[in-house]
Structure 1
Amino acid sequence: MADKCDLCLLGLIILSSLLTGISGVEDHVFISSGENVRLSCNNALPDCKSKTTWTYSNRFRHSVVVELITGVIKKKDTERHERLSLESDCSLNIKNVTEEDYGSYTCQQYVNGQKQGPDARVSLHVLHVSVSSSSSSSSSSSSSSSSSSQTEISPGRSVTLSCQLYSLFSCDDLVSSEGVELLWVNQAGVDLKTDSRYQILSSSSSDQYRCIITLTTTLLNEDNNREWRCRLTHRNQLKTSVRYTVKYSGEKTLFSDRFVETFTHWLYSS
């Protein structure tokens, strides 16, 4: 019963902190899906193996606080436990981050059963890109879950890349209060809004808790192996980005290779 009360109290504390706004509440970590992340426990004691508890809260996905890890014992009732590990400095490692990992993480320290110092809270924001493409005769869609993705498509298709930032905080707060900005740029880092062949649209989800920026364009022959990046900056500092590389289908590549081979043979034979 006491454990349940402790969890309820912790949940109320985290929820209260989230409702007060973003500034000054906790540390903020921005990461792209598919990458590994390390969350620091800023109030760590010298020996944390048996004295550290990490919990996770997300009011959109869980109505209660989920205990992720205690010491080096991972809680088996969490779907992500195989991706978690505890560092010697009490930091929490999460491998292969997904968009569902966003939320508030809390590190607590205990000595002889008594909590020591304030909670160390970290808000994890996850950047994720999904892809859809279509042509006049057919359409297809796929999603990206890594920081560098490729999709096999073909010239003439219209492709839309949707870059979304998953967060516990509203998009308006992130943009206006924290100076978070999402941009689609080319390999040289040039904002694609300056190129008329790209349609760039910024918006937020219906619940206002996801910042979204989409890129739509019709693919050209020369777009094969072209790279676009969704870049996230926080107060004018680059925090993370997702790369998307266009890769045309094998038939297209094979045809091109045969054409080049035939043309080269003809050129040297004439």
Structure 2
Amino acid sequence: MKNSLKFTKFSGNGNDFIILDHPTVEMTPAFVKKMCDRHFGVGADGILTLTEFAGTDGEMRIFNADGGEAEMCGNGLRCLATYIDQKLNHAKNAYRIKTMNATYEVIRQENAFAIEMSEIKDKNLYDLSHFHEFDRSFFINTGVPHLVFLVKDAKAIDIKPTAARYRYHSTFPNGTNVSFVEIQKDYQTAYVRTYERGVEDETHSCGTGLTATALALNYWNGWKEMITLKTLGGTQRVLVGDKVFYSGEVKHCFSGEYSL
């Protein structure tokens, strides 16, 4: 097809992405918004681009559905690693992928990939004492900033207007993602909902948000080793120890050509 762009779509527990392999188009905000549009485009939470980077298996850039570029995306990284793995016919058990600020190791774990979440910083960097709406609050940067609230009933929250009050709060100079976590009866298990900066809505899953949530539960309640987190997109796990690993399902949705 003339004037078209080949793409592949992957989903990480419902957090869906369009993958462009060495794209020749300019990734303008207008183009990203149009391609991510769920009514007039392919539809996705964001676009991942793959290009070469010396000493790695590739460089990933992340463009959110609002057209802006993000520093890191856990589910996106797992999706891109799976794409590379399929492209290379399952040649490796680990891949090194460069993001905006770091290089991540993505390791084969049974039928999926787990990420060593090495970019963790700024724990409770900001004063959260004036946030009284929920039981507890926690802030950390797991590649992107996350504010986590402990709540009694996560499903009851009207997430879009509630999270937006904090996403744009003056406390956070670059804005923040917002997660709401409800502890479940099962051992070290919680239910999580996340509002993502850049998508400007709730997503089915958020890898950096689930990592932030696991670290919040470790900070509040001493949870460690394997923590099970349930989301709209399914069940995922974060291993908290000397190192932190995030894992979950990845699915190839479809491939096609997008008319330019």
- Is TM > 0.5 for Structure 1 vs Structure 2? no
* Larger-Rg structure: 1
State the structure with bigger RCO (CA 8 A, min sep 6), 1 or 2: 2
TM-score (norm 1): 0.28
TM-score norm. by structure 2 comes to 0.28
